[in-house]
Chain A
Amino acid sequence: MNAQTETNSRELTYSEAIREAMDIALGNDERVILMGEDIGVYGGAFGVTGDLVEKYGTDRVMDTPISELGGAGVAVGAALTGLRPIFEFQFSDFATLGMEQIVNQAAKLRFMLGGAVSVPVVMRFPAGSGTGAAAQHSQSLEAWTAHVPGLKVVQPSTPEDAKGLLLAALEDPDPVMIYEHKLLYKMKGPVPAGHYTTPIGKAAIRREGRDVSIVATAIMVHKALEAAETLAREGIDAEVIDLRTIRPIDRDTVLASVRKTGRLICVYEGVKTLGVGAEVSAMVAESDAFDFLDAPIVRLGGAECPIPYNPQLEKAVVPQVPDILDAARGLTKGRI
C-alpha cells in the first residue's frame, strides 16, 4: 500500500468502487466503452453502472439488446479493432449463452492468428449464491473460463481490489474475465482515490498464520477470515490467502504458505469437484511443497447440485464458516 492510498482512501462499497473504476477509465480513455443489458438509465441490474450514462452518454454506456452471444461477440470484435469495451453480463449464468465468443473467439484469436492480434476485452460476471435467485441466477462458473488458455480470470474480494483489478484489466492486452460476487456489492471497505491498479496474477495474504493455509476466493475470503479469528482464540493460527486471480494462478504465494504451515484448506463457492480447489491441490501435490504437507489437503466447495431456492438449502450447499472451522480443527489436531 503506497502513501497516496493511506492519505486518499475513503470507504466505498464494492459496487461503488467498480463504478469509480469505470468512471476513471471512461474519463481517461475515449476508447473505453461499457456494454451490457440495462446498464444505461436503469443503472445495471445490480446498480453497478449507476448514472454513468448521464455523464458519458448512450454512445459510450451502451444498452445492448438481450443478446448475450451477439453482445459478447460485438465486444470481442470491438476490442480486436481498437476499442476497450467493458462488457457486463447481467448474471454470470447468462454468459453460458455467450460462451462461443468467450471461449472460441476471445480466448483463441491471438493464438490462432499467430500473435498478430490482441483482444483487450474486459467482461464482468455478477456471480454467486445467497440472493434466493435459485439455480439459473446463482452459479459460480469461474472455473469454466479459467479452464481456457488465453483468458485471464480474476475474483476481487474487496472494494479496493474490485477497482484495482478492473483498472488493471483495462490496461491488460488480453481478455480479462472479472467475477464479482453479488453479495459483496454492498460490502464497504477502504478504496484509494484516483487511478491505481491491482496486479493480475498476484494473490494477497489477508492474514498471516503458522498452522494452516486457507486459500480462498471471492466471498469465501471473508468467511475464511471470520473463521481464522475464531481459530485464533483456540490457539490455531490460520493464514488466509485471497487468490484474487485464478488464471494465471499465483503459484508462488500458495506454495510458500503451504511450505510454512504444512496444511492446506482450499475454500471456494464453485462446485467442489474439478474446480479451483482441484487446481490448487494439484499444484501443491505436484510441487516440492508436497514434502511440507503434514496432513491431507482439504477442499471445501459447493455441493454437487444446482443452487436451491430454499434459504436453508441455499446456505447448506456452499461452504460456511463452521465448515472451515471444522476442517481447520481436524487438520491441526491431526485428525484428518
Chain B
Amino acid sequence: MPVEVIMPKVDMDMASGKIMSWHVAVGQPVAKGDPLFDIETDKAAMEVESPADGMLYHPAPEGTEIQIGQPCAWLYAEGEEVGDQPAAFGAAAAEPAPPPEPVAAVEPVRELAFTAEPALEKPRATPRARRLASEAGRDLTSFVGTGPRGRVQADDVLQALAPAPSAGFTAETGPLSITRSKGGEGTPIVLIHGFASDATSWAPLETHLRHRPVIRIDLPSHGKSPKLRIRCFADLVKEVRAAVDDLHLDAAHLVGHSLGGAVALALADTRPRKIASLTLIAPGGLGPEIDGAALTGLCNATRVESLAPWLRRLAADESLITDGYARLAMASRNDPALRHAQAALADVLFPDGTQAFDLRAALDRVDMPTRIIWGKRDAIIPWSHALRAPGKVALHLFDGLGHMPQIEAPDEVGKIIRSLV
C-alpha cells in the first residue's frame, strides 16, 4: 500500500493549501523528513517534509488547491507496483470549507475527496482566458490570476505568453545575479536589497561583516538581474528561492532590507531549516501602508534632479544624500527598461500605494533567531509595523534613523548582526 501524502494544516483557520512546487521528481526516492513540497496558503508559503521513505508518484499538479487532510501525492515502497492514482486529489471548494474535524487517523477520510467540487480542480478563469490558454497549448494552472478570487483573466494569459510591448520593457529570463565577497569563514550571510536599489547598496554595512562570506542577490529587474515578468509577490519569492536553492548552502544567515526583508521572511518561512538567522531591516509585509508617491517618484525619475528629492526621503538625515550619491544612484538607473520593469513590479506589489502582501503570519511562524531593525523616522514604511512582531523576535528601534539604517548607521546595524552571526 502506498503512503498517502496529505495537505497538512499549518494554520488555525486554514482550509486548503496550494501546491507550489515539488522538491522531488516523479519516481525519485525521498527520505522521511526530507523536504518534499512547498505549499502556499492565503497567509503564507512553507515547506512540507516527507511523511515516509519512498518513491514519489501521482503528485498533484503545481498550482492545485488541496483541502487539508486530503491526499496530494503517494509514496511507494521500493519494488512496489505503481498502478493508477489510488484516489482523487482533495481539491478545495471555492468558498473556504468549514474547518474539518482534526484528522487523527492515518487513513484520511476518503469521501471528502469525492464531495469536493470536481469542477474546481480547474482554476477559475474567464472564457477568453481559457480560450487563449488552450490556443497556446498551455495549462491554465500555469497562469497567475489577478481577477476576483484569483480568476485568471485574458490579460494574465496574454502577458504571460507575450509581454505587452506597452509595458516599456521586454521580459527577460535567466537566473538572478549573485555576487560574493572575498574571504570570510563559516555560515555565509545572504543579503537581499530593497526596492529600486541593488546589491551595491550593502557596501557600507559589509565592512562590518567581513568575518563571514557574504552573498548578495540582485532582485529581479534590479541591478544585474534579468528583468523578469513578476505577477505577484509569490512569484518574486519563487525567483529568489530558486536562486538561494541553487547556491546549495547547508545554512545561511539571511539579511533583507525593505522589500528584500519581506522576501527574506517569506524565504525563511519556506526553508526554515536552512536559515540560521534572520535579520529584517525596515521590512515590508507587516502592514498595508507604504509611501506610494516615493515609489512612483523613484521609478519615474529620469535625471538626478528628480531622483534626489525622493532619495532624501529615504534617510532621516538628508545631508547623507549628497549630490554625488544621487548622481551615482541615477547612473545605475539610466536604463529606461530597468525603470519600466521596476514600475511594473511596483504596480504588482504596491498597487495604489498599498503593500499587497501580508507576511505577519509568517513572522509568527519562523523559529530561527530573528530580529527587526527599524528607524523611527522611516518615511517610507511606518516603523510601528515592527510592533506586530511576536515576543520571540528582537526589535532594534532607532530614534534618529530613517528607512535605511544599514546606510544611515552601518556600524550600529553591523554590531547587531554580528552579535548573532
Chain A residues proximal to chain B, CB less than 8 Å: 262, 290-295, 334-336
- Measured CB to CB, the closest approach of chain A to B416, in angstroms, equals 44
Complex contact A294–B148 (CB within 8 A): no
Whether B129 lies near A294 (C-beta < 8 A) is yes
CA distance A317 to B274 in the complex (A): 62
Check A292–B148 contact: CB distance below 8 A. Answer: no
Q: Bound complex: CA of A123 vs CA of B155, how far in Å?
A: 47
Cα A336 to Cα B147 in complex, Å, equals 8
- Residue interface bits B211-232, CB-to-A below 8 A is 1, else 0: 0000000000000000000000
Instruction: Report whether A293 and B148 are in contact in the complex, using a CB–CB cutoff of 8 Å.
Output: no
Nearest first, the 7 A-B pairs at minimum CB distance are A294-B128, A334-B147, A291-B131, A294-B154, A293-B127, A294-B126, A262-B128
Contacts of A334 on B, CB cut-off 8 Å? 146-148, 151, 153, 155
Does B130 count as interface, using CB distance less than 8 angstroms?
yes
A293 to B128, CA, bound (A): 5
Most chain A CB within a 10 A radius of its CB, from B128, B131, B155: B128
> Hey, which chain A residues are within 8 Å of B148, CB to CB?
334-336
> Which residues of chain A are near B126, meaning CB under 8 Å?
262, 293-295
Shortest CB–CB separation between residue B241 and chain A, in angstroms? 28
Chain B: which residue is nearest A335 at the CB level? B148
Residue A292 contacts which of B128, B151, B153, B155 (CB distance < 8 angstroms)? B128
22 contacts between A and B (CB under 8 A): A262-B126, A262-B128, A262-B154, A290-B127, A291-B127, A291-B128, A291-B131, A292-B127, A292-B128, A293-B126, A293-B128, A294-B127, A294-B129, A294-B154, A295-B147, A295-B153, A334-B147, A334-B148, A334-B151, A334-B155, A335-B148, A336-B148
Contacts of A336 in B (CB 8 A): 148
Q: Give chain A nearest CB distance to B259 CB in angstroms.
A: 25
| Pair B154/A291 contact, Cβ less than 8 Å | no
Asked if A294 meets B153 with Cβ closer than 8 Å, knowing A334-B146, A336-B148, the reply is yes
B131 partner residues in chain A, CB cutoff 8 A = 291-292
A291 engages B130 (CB within 8 Å): yes
What residue of chain A has the Cβ atom nearest to residue B158's Cβ?
A294
Main SS class of interface, B:
helix
Complex: chain B residue closest to A334, CB-CB: B147
* A310 CB, nearest partner CB in chain B, Å: 36
Report which residue of B131, B151, B155 has the largest number of chain A beta carbons within 10 angstroms of its beta carbon.
Answer: B131
Residue of A nearest to B156 (CB): A334
Known contacts A334-B146, A334-B155, then 19 further A-B pairs from the complex at CB < 8 Å, ordered by chain A residue = A262-B128, A262-B154, A290-B127, A291-B127, A291-B130, A292-B127, A292-B131, A293-B126, A293-B127, A293-B128, A294-B126, A294-B127, A294-B153, A294-B154, A295-B147, A334-B147, A334-B148, A334-B151, A334-B153
Q: Which residue of B lies closest to A296 (CB)?
A: B126
> How many Å lie between the Cα of A335 and that of B127 in the bound state?
16
| A294, B148: Cα distance in complex, Å | 12
How near does chain A come to B224, taking the closest CB pair, in angstroms? 34
Q: What are the residues of chain B within 8 A of A294 when measuring CB–CB?
A: 126-129, 153-155
* Nearest CB in chain B: distance from A6 CB, A: 37
Closest chain-A Cβ to B160's Cβ sits at a distance in Å of 15
How far apart sit A48 and B153, CA to CA, in the bound complex (Å)? 49
Residues on A with C-beta less than 8 A from B129 are: 294
Within the complex, the shortest CB–CB distance from B420 to chain A, in Å, comes to 44
A-contact 0/1 string along B120-136, CB 8 Å cutoff: 00000011111100000
CA distance A100 to B151 in the complex (A): 49
Cα distance, A208 to B85, chains bound together (Å):
52
List residues of chain B with CB within 8 A of the CB of A290.
Answer: 127
Give the residues in chain A near B127, CB-CB below 8 Å.
Answer: 290-294
Chain B residues within 8 Å of A335, by CB: 147-148
B272 CB to closest chain A CB (Å) equals: 35
Contacts of B153 in A (CB 8 A): 294-295, 334
| Distance in angstroms between the alpha carbons of A284 and B154 in the assembled complex | 17
Closest to A289 in B: B127
State A152–B151 Cα separation when bound (angstroms).
40
A292 CA to B147 CA, complexed, in Å: 16
Name the A residues within 8 Å of B130 (CB-CB).
291
* Distance to closest chain A CB from B171 (angstroms): 21
* Measured CA separation A292–B154 after assembly (Å): 9
Which residues of A have CB within 8 Å of B155? 294, 334
Q: How far is the CA of A147 from the CA of B131 in the complex (A)?
A: 33
**Chain B: minimal CB distance from A257 (Å):** 14
Interface residues of B in 272-324 (CB under 8 A from A): none
When chains A and B are docked, how far (Å) is the Cα of A214 from the Cα of B353?
31
B146 cross-chain contacts in A, Cβ below 8 A? 334
CB distance from B174 to the nearest CB of A (A): 30
Nearest-neighbour CB distance to chain A for B66, whole angstroms, equals: 26
B161 CB to nearest A CB, Å: 15
Interface residues of B in 139-153 (CB under 8 A from A): 146-148, 151, 153
CB-CB < 8 A to A292: which residues of B?
A: 127-128, 131
How many Å from the CB of B135 to the closest CB on chain A? 10
Residues of A within 8 Å of B154, CB to CB, are 262, 294
Contacts of B151 in A (CB 8 A): 334
Q: How far is the CA of A334 from the CA of B130 in the complex (A)?
A: 15
Cβ-closest chain B residue relative to A293: B127
The CB with the most chain B CB atoms within 10 A, among A291, A293, A294, A295, is that of: A294
Q: How distant is the Cα of A335 from the Cα of B147 in the complex, in angstroms? A: 6
CB nearest to B148 among chain A residues = A335
Cβ–Cβ < 8 Å partners of A291 in chain B: 127-128, 130-131
CB distance from A234 to the nearest CB of B (A): 15
Q: How far does the alpha carbon of A186 sit from the alpha carbon of B60 in the complex, in Å?
A: 65
Residues of chain A within 8 A (CB-CB) of B147 are 295, 334-335
